[in-house]
Amino acid sequence: MRPLLVATGEALVRVAGGEAEVLLERPGLHAVAADPSRPERIAAGCRGAGVWESDDGGSTWRDAALPAQDVFSVAFGPDGALYAGCEPSALYVRREEAPWRELAALRELPSAPTWSFPPRPWTSHVRWIAPSPHDTEVVLVGIELGGLMRTEDGGETWADHRPGAQRDVHALAWHPTEPGRAYEAAGGGAAWSRNGGETWEPADDGRDRHYTWALAVDPADPGRWYVSAAPGPFEAHGTRPARAALYRWSGEGPWEELDLGLPRPLEAMPYALAWSDGRLVAGLRDGRLLESEDGGDTWRDSETPGLDRVVAMAA
């Protein structure tokens, strides 16, 4: 079974067979990605410590020498390109043996002067990077808080915030086999695209919580996807109970709240969702990993020791 990579905020942990092994400890480790064509190639993004990378599944690590320190997102393109999103908002790419290069046209978009992260309104960051698995030149980028941007020439030029999308972007995804389908979870709700991210339509029917955070897509069904949601950011990220829920969208909707076998509403926010070997995994803020083998109908606790927090996952 393919291992799951879990970022805890201070470490990167490999979870396999109910066991957790710490691969890397770095302050602010909040983002992780694995190369889809070479799973042993891993990147970890840290707030305050840049990007760290491994070519051997996490046995050894090196500083990727990114010319920025505050990293909020990392992603691999289908061609092996490594992307890093930073605060203040900036996007870097490294292709093969070439050095890092900032895709500076992103910061020149007309909306850029308005980008502002509410807890620190003087700045913003690249919260999510979603390279298309179907076209190496197409990338979606989410600014928290600023909008959903799109390039179709590898980042040389960018289209500003896409019509119909939410501006407070938290997570983005593509369907792995349906080229036109893309998905968004954001602070004001959820949306999806049927035309490769050009335009978006809201997907909010049936949900009574609109602060959506984590996102996953059923690889076998482009009409089935999942988001976690809370009433607002203070519940999702603060010290009070999250009052959260996990939802499933099927076909044309509406959203259906899933029963994870825990008291509802959930006290701990589902911070991360991932598909791994036919299982849907939900990582909760309190460190629990819940797994479903039937698309969310039933769940079990993986009972993985050694996790005190989950902030991001990659399979």
Give the CATH number for residue 157.
2.130.10.10
pLDDT digits (tens, 9 = 90+) for 195-243: 999 999 999 999 999 999 999 999 999 999 999 999 999 999 998 899 9
Q: How far apart are CA 42 and CA 219, in angstroms?
A: 21
Whether this prediction's pTM lies above 0.85 is answered by: yes
Count of the separate structural domains present in the chain: 1
Of 159, 156, 161, whose CA–CA distance to 124 is shortest?
Answer: 161
Mean pLDDT of 178-204: 97
pLDDT digits (tens, 9 = 90+) for 256-267: 999 999 999 999
Residues with Cβ within 8 Å of 59's Cβ and at least 6 positions away in sequence, in order, are none
Q: How does residue 136 score in pLDDT terms, banded at 50, 70 and 90?
A: very high
pLDDT digits (tens, 9 = 90+) for 16-54: 888 899 999 999 999 999 999 999 999 999 999 999 999
Q: How many CB atoms lie within 10 A of CB 261?
A: 12
The pLDDT > 90 percentage for the chain reads 93
* pLDDT value of position 1: 59
Mean pLDDT of the chain: 96
Check whether 2 has a pLDDT greater than 80. no
pLDDT digits (tens, 9 = 90+) for 265-307: 999 999 999 999 899 999 999 999 999 999 999 999 988 887 8
- Which domain does 33 fall in, by range? 4-314
